[in-house]
Structure 1
């Protein structure tokens, strides 16, 4: 593992990059220098365990993020692979935050539950808190029944604590408060973003899949760190995603906010002429990057 220290004294914040992941752009060092004064106050771990869009571009799993090795945002089809690559047991997940109902964000849920039942938590010692929109528990139950009838759906009541709430404060684990808000994506999949407020006051936003909208602009302007999707190239309009030009506009609007791009449409393997040079407060993530 390659570690770049953020600071030598006090809490040591490091950017950890597995050697098999292509080294990030020069802006990664700028990110370290830019954020050290803010990150030093909030002791947490952020792992980008997947950074691709629905089409899993070369070198990228489906977009997936985990905080403190216990708070998982979305459960895409590649979740188990991503957790295994990160060395995290599925049983370690205490909270699952669902952003919306497209398959690249929820189809890994039955596999996550199946693994917990038979491998990492066979004695049912760990409970999973699942945060979804109203009625989400029923939909995920149906998904489990379709995927593994008789093996998974019956365990959901005993092993899962459901939090089916549409907006507002939807959870608080003592370290993080979870706030859900509506964003702009396909209405049929009930798209939401999450604002996570650390007990120290540090604020992280994950917008899920969304195009530009007032909620994104407002939360970006008041957050320390934003996980933002870049799902489609310029010229694709009305898709409910951010294009590179949209990313640049938002970053310019909120110059004091640091943005990390995920759900990327381009490969991790090399340059893509469709991807511009982003402002200094934007960094393109790669699978396996961790911020501690």
Structure 2
């Protein structure tokens, strides 16, 4: 199987450096026309410069591809909308959105300011929301769309000093879960990448020898599997240093307590049973949890349904 993006138009946010740059170059090499978005700020989100995005565009064009540089701040919906409008004006459509832009403001929660918390949420979560909102109707009207959120092991599992980053990176998984349901009939598929790579975001956190193993290219190989024509839907792909894995949210079958038994003591007494991993399964909509619990209650009371 050969994965091609010929005829597709892709937007990659935060594409001036690191993973975003690697994603944009790889999409272009496989035929996509690419909007290279980058505010050009520092790792903490300060400052702005168009040079990084322009450099990536020059590299794509030198290889015979088509690209457009854009410096929109993903946290500003009006700027994002203008970016999407520019892509449509030039190429007539938007097929792929890679929500990659991000910043770090790491500190322990005790020392973190609420402004630093809010800013990271604004860039990672609302940046993904803004970009997705700006392309959503376009993808619905054309009956095709591929959107990738960027999460992190910090969001899936936690990481000291990253309460803001972790909260945002978990939130985009929740965003994916609902967009999958709303986009299905329009062939809009939404997936999540959870990468670890040697970039300026991690360069002072990982020993140099190991840093060199964590190439952006290995992550991009995974990214491309989430946004091609036969991509999965509602998939969390974890990757780094050549390793690839999937992550899932499971719920156990659980227990039922009759009204007269509904006390915390009885919940604790049956903890092992409600937590039994052998009964767990992956739910695909919030209503499935409600349905499961109601069936247990209906069975207890003899209610048909």
Report which structure shows greater RCO (CA 8 Å, sep ≥6): 1
Structure with the largest fraction of strand: 1
Q: Shorter-normalised TM-score: what interval?
A: 0.3 to 0.5
TM-score of the superposed pair, with normalisation by structure 1: 0.37
Structure with the largest fraction of helix: 2
